[in-house]
Homo-oligomer: A and B are copies of this chain.
Amino acid sequence: MTRPFPKTPEFSGSLYRPARFEGSVFDLEVEGRVPEDIHGTFFQVAPDPQFPPMRGNDIFFNGDGAVHAFRFANGAVDFQRRYVMTDRLKAQRAERESLFGLYRNGYTNDPRADGVHMGTANTNVVQHNGRLLALKEDSPPYALDPVTLETHGLFDFDGQLTSPTFTAHPKFDPETGAMLCFGYEAKGEATPDIVYYEIDSQGRKQREIWLRGPYAAMIHDFAVTRNYIIFPLMPLTPDLDRIRKGGNHFEWQPGLEQVFGVLPRDGDGTDVRWFTAPNGFQGHTLNAFDDGRGRIFVDMPVTDGNIFYFFPQSDGHVPPPETLSSRMMRWTFDMNNPGNALSMAPITDFACEFPKCDPRYSGHEYRHGFVIGMDMTRPFDAERLGAPPFQFFNLLSHVDVATRRVKSWFADAQTCFQEPVFVPRSANAPEGEGWVIALANRLVDQTTDLVILDAQHMDEGPVAVVHLPVRLRMSLHGSWVPAAA
């Protein structure tokens, strides 16, 4: 039987208490009006541990992936939720307890987990070539049926995947539908090897480039422009000795710079150039593009220290999160200049994350970004909440990266947003015209809503609030799949 989950912040409160159920809700309750031009599915995945951790606590990223599908048609929304039936989850269900220890450390597993693939499929979910892929960067994708959410199993692209790892943040070429993707620790645990793939819309691998980083590091997200691939090496490094001794997979290195590998898309691994910037934490890519003349722009939130408190540096030090400063930044790489310098300029003056662009402009010059942000001057209602959550996304915002103008919606002192998606009003609508959809957790009420905002008028609040009758745990990433796909 399932013992109680720990009473730690990682497993407590409206955001982090595991949600655990699987099932569906036919025709969610709607306040306002869901625009009828929203026709397709919002897929999303949350780490949601089936069982309490083997040790007294665990990190958020180690939960079993549970996929959500919000299906929009004719102004109505149906909901489904199903665990990815990973080998790991099946093994644990058979024993009715957790068999896996520290995050990405097989040396800390229960012996009953020997030989069981460790992928949790908990980070992102995208559709490609008719398959729904549930992604976790230490594993090949798990393939799911996009209609039933049934798990087909680990998927190696019909034998074309040559790395044991695969990013949770592939990009899609808006012109060809090709999936642009990579793996890190690509020749085994803690290796500095990186592989880049382009897999066309029919599932055929069209390009494979191997390179070696200056050292092994977490490469959580990346960027692809028309002509370049950019790999951000975060100052979080794996170490095989430490892992074998039962330590953390990653450790924060305050002495390391932020490193970016820049590779021409038509080059090979030897063409990579390494750019550096002072120590800091690279977040998720909003978008990137190049000007066709060797200048590359990459937009992402950057924090001036380690926000992954659960991967402390070797002396155990973790700066208190509230002492860190974070903003959306534009990195500029000039391939015409020699050397490894790059420039960084802020786009926002507030902390934000989980950025999304209009997917039709992915890799291309663009203006419109959508993020969840933190207005530190408007704290959560801590008294009614008991324990405040340790994430704090009380804004849903539109960022015009050309003008730096921001339009934000602050709902109230109990609402925490999850990653948005952008849905174009129509296939041919101008960039950024359409709808932003995001989950909103009502922390005091212990409920979860889906909110829908006009992307160009986010400050006016939602046009529709879709009520879930169940509370969803904090999720990670997701994507919009138009009905036509």
Contacts and interface: CB of A to CB of B under 8 A. Distances in A.
By CB atoms of chain B within 10 A, which of A21, A25, A446 has the most?
A: A21
A10 to B, nearest CB: 15
Interface string A16-57: 011111111111111100100000000000000011100000
A86 B77 CA distance: 22
Contact of A76 (B17, B52, B96, B447): B96
A93 interface: yes
A336 interface: no
Contacts of A24: 21-23
A8 to B, nearest CB: 15
Contacts of A293: none
A126 B469 CA distance: 27
Interface centre among A1, A2, A22 (most CB of B within 10 A): A1
A81 interface: yes
Interface residues of A, number: 39
B25 A20 contact: yes
Interface string A59-92: 0000000000000001111010100000000000
Nearest to A96: B27
Q: Is the interface of A mostly helix, strand, loop or mixed?
A: loop
Given A1-B77, A26-B93, A27-B50, 16 more contacts: A1-B30, A1-B34, A1-B76, A2-B30, A3-B29, A3-B30, A20-B29, A21-B24, A21-B25, A22-B23, A22-B25, A22-B26, A27-B93, A29-B52, A445-B446, A446-B447
Nearest to A48: B469
Contacts of A17: 469
Nearest to A17: B469
Interface string A87-105: 0000001001000000000
Contact of A2 (B3, B5, B29, B93): B29
A115 interface: no
A345 interface: no
Contacts of A34: 1
Nearest to A83: B26
A338 interface: no
A4 interface: yes
